[in-house]
Amino acid sequence: MKTQIINILLICISLGALSCEKEYVKPVKINYKQQAIDANLMADEEIENFIAPYKSRIEGEMKKVLSYAPQSMFKSQGKYNTAIGNMMADAVLEEATPIFKKQQNLNIDAVLLNYGGIRAGISKGDISVRTAFDIMPFENEVVVVELTYESVQKMIRYLMKKKIAHPIAGIQLQLNHDYTFKKASINGEEIKLNDQKDKHFYIATSDYLLQGGDEMSFFEDNKNVYHLDYKLRNILIDYFEKKEQILATVEKRFTVSDSF
Amino acid sequence: MKRRNFIKKTGVASSVLGFGSFSLLNSSLTKVEEDAKQITILHTNDVHSHIEAFSNTHAKYPGRGGAARRYAYINMVKKENPNTLILDAGDAFQGTPYFNFYGGELEYKLMSKMGYHASTIGNHEFDNGIENIAAQLAHADFKLLNANYNLKNTILDGLVKPYQTYEMDGVKIGVFGLGIELNGLVSKKLFKETEYIDPVDVAKDTVKKLKNEEECDLVICLSHLGFNYSGRKICDVKLAQQTRDIDLIIGGHTHTFLEKPSLIENLDFKNVLVNQVGWAGLNMGRIDFYMKKEKASKETLIEL
């Protein structure tokens, strides 16, 4: 054992090595620099020319006029209901219903989207393809979720708790001045908060909310999910295309009494 | 706990004290650079279809980004050092109408034109379905790398490799990709039979292969896991801590703007560089590795 160690030492010394450690190709120095991509860099012409035809096709398509807005509508206009929210929920109900009917021979009872999902408003004037892209830049699709009476009660409680203008259609919700429950209905059928019923409802929403987005956990506890393979943005485009005008009407779907 | 890396904060040249190595005592920084082989890494993450620069009136990033300017910078660096590897950490897709109209075709064509070597699969790559990734790969001259998605029963089987090695100036570089858990983030309808495997286990196996079988001198991970989460969810920082022999993790997903790479100690108490440069092609990271045959214990000068 001892002689072995001495031998190794001798070999090392005879090789002139400073230690017996093996050598590797390794980083001896590392530098870092972050480059901001900005106007200080001259845009490469070849790349710009390559992009140009793609760009002009998009611009041509995006400025295509679909409808007209006699008045602007923004989601900040209204506490519990907004014109743009009503419009979006109505568009989903109108466009998704025939597809769901054809696919499952069933009707959609109501629509619930989320206030945060309205990504832009509509300015007075022409409504173009770009408007639809601005309102809905994401690829989310509409899904129809089959909910029990109990889950629908949870949905109503959720709306009561949040007290914001989530886009709804087919849902009526009335609260007392102290925000206690007064009355609710879905597709004309009265929903009470404390009774039990063996009834299912078909609620159209976005696949984002189905996955529990915006704390809408009642969608996760569903009986069935039907994918319509229809993007929310395309619903808007199709809806706009059919209407000569998109009116900024606010329907009182969610109300809180102001009298005592 | 022996720190094997030496972090240099100032630009002043200083001598390095190895144990008993008098020959290195007077080596200056420039000498280190002169003797070594320089490998340059350029990287982006989460470009999200930002092909054009933001408009000059944009509230947050006026006039920033754009592929044409990014390419100008790439050309500048490549002229300086032809041994440049260009990498991306995923989510090249989704964010502007360019994706909605062309499904990622232009993103991949431009990355090819710009000379990207590799990218990885971000969650948004699935936005038009896994079939679309396969279709767009026809436009890619670079490699799409992922080691922790089992793609056997998907259309991407054989199209996506776990890792790729590159040889530059005699230096062998191994690059592998890691992707985030897709359940709950991406609809199953889109990712189909893609199976997520624990990134730490996969990273350990892949790095072993890159080091022992492929004999790589540098190991780089392209990660779309996200920079740093406080919970148990795996992220780049935890990945660095729980593995060995990774030199650099180029991250994405969390759109984190790091001013410079974070140095995270790995299982061997060696520093791993973990970097991320925001999103939308606003920035490009540049890391220069000066490679030389040295003892394992030789300290690395890190100038950040």
Alpha carbon B182 to its chain centroid, in Å, reads 20
A181 Cβ neighbours under 8 A, 6+ residues apart: A156, A160, A175, A193
pLDDT band for position A237 (cuts 50, 70, 90): very high
List A35's β-bridge partners, or say none.
Answer: B284
What pLDDT, on the 0 to 100 scale, is given for residue B58?
83
Mean pLDDT, residues A225-231? 94
CATH topology of domain B35-295: Purple Acid Phosphatase; chain A, domain 2 (3.60.21)
From the list A35, A57, A139, the residue facing B127 with the nearest CB is: A139
Residue B1 has pLDDT above 60, yes or no: no
- CA atoms of B113 and B127, how far apart (whole Å): 23
Q: Interface pTM (ipTM) of the complex? A: 0.90
Lowest-pLDDT choice from A71-80, A108-117, B29-38, B113-122: B29-38
pLDDT band for position A10 (cuts 50, 70, 90): low
- CA atoms of A66 and A142, how far apart (whole Å): 21
Q: Which residues of A touch B66 (CB under 8 A)?
A: 37, 43
List B8's β-bridge partners, or say none.
Answer: B303
What tens digit of pLDDT does each residue of B88-140 get? 999 999 989 999 999 999 999 999 999 999 999 999 999 999 999 999 999 99
- Output the furthest CA–CA distance in chain B (Å, rounded): 64
Do A35 and B284 count as a contact with CB atoms less than 8 A apart? yes
* Closest residue of chain A to B299, computed from CA coordinates: A28
Mean pLDDT, residues A35-58? 97
Residue B50 has pLDDT above 80, yes or no: yes
How many other CB atoms are there within 10 angstroms of residue A4's CB atom?
8
Q: Quick check: B154 and B192 in contact, CB under 8 A?
A: yes
Size of interface A-B (CB pairs under 8 A): 177
- E-state strands within chain A: 23-36, 65-69, 110-112, 125-128, 141-148, 168-169, 171-175, 181-186, 189-190, 200-206, 224-231, 254-256
Q: Between β-strands B248-250 and B218-223, what pairing exists: parallel, antiparallel or unpaired?
A: parallel
Average pLDDT of chain B to the nearest whole number:
91
Mean pLDDT, residues B32-54? 94
Average pLDDT of chain A to the nearest whole number:
92
Q: Provide the token pair at B158.
A: 């054989």
Q: Which residues of B touch A63 (CB under 8 A)?
A: none
Contact with chain B for residue A15, Cβ under 8 A? no
At residue A58, φ and ψ (nearest 5 deg) are -65, -45
What tens digit of pLDDT does each residue of B235-284 get? 999 999 999 999 999 999 999 999 999 999 999 999 999 999 999 999 99
Among residues B72, B33, B22, B64, which one has the least CA distance to residue B47? B64
Q: Which domains does chain A have, with CATH numbers?
A: 66-256 (3.90.780.10)
Q: Quick check: B264 and A2 in contact, CB under 8 A?
A: no
Residue A145 has pLDDT above 80, yes or no: yes
A167–chain B nearest CA distance, Å? 23
Q: Quick check: A101 and A204 in contact, CB under 8 A?
A: no
pLDDT band for position A3 (cuts 50, 70, 90): low
pLDDT band for position B11 (cuts 50, 70, 90): very low
What tens digit of pLDDT does each residue of B138-168 get? 999 999 999 999 999 999 999 999 999 999 9
Mean pLDDT, residues A220-226? 94
Do B287 and A31 count as a contact with CB atoms less than 8 A apart? yes
Q: Provide the token pair at B185.
A: 């983030």
Alpha carbon A70 to its chain centroid, in Å, reads 27
Alpha carbon B158 to its chain centroid, in Å, reads 22
From the list B106, B283, B290, the residue facing A29 with the nearest CB is: B290
Contact with chain A for residue B260, Cβ under 8 A? yes
- CA atoms of B192 and A147, how far apart (whole Å): 25
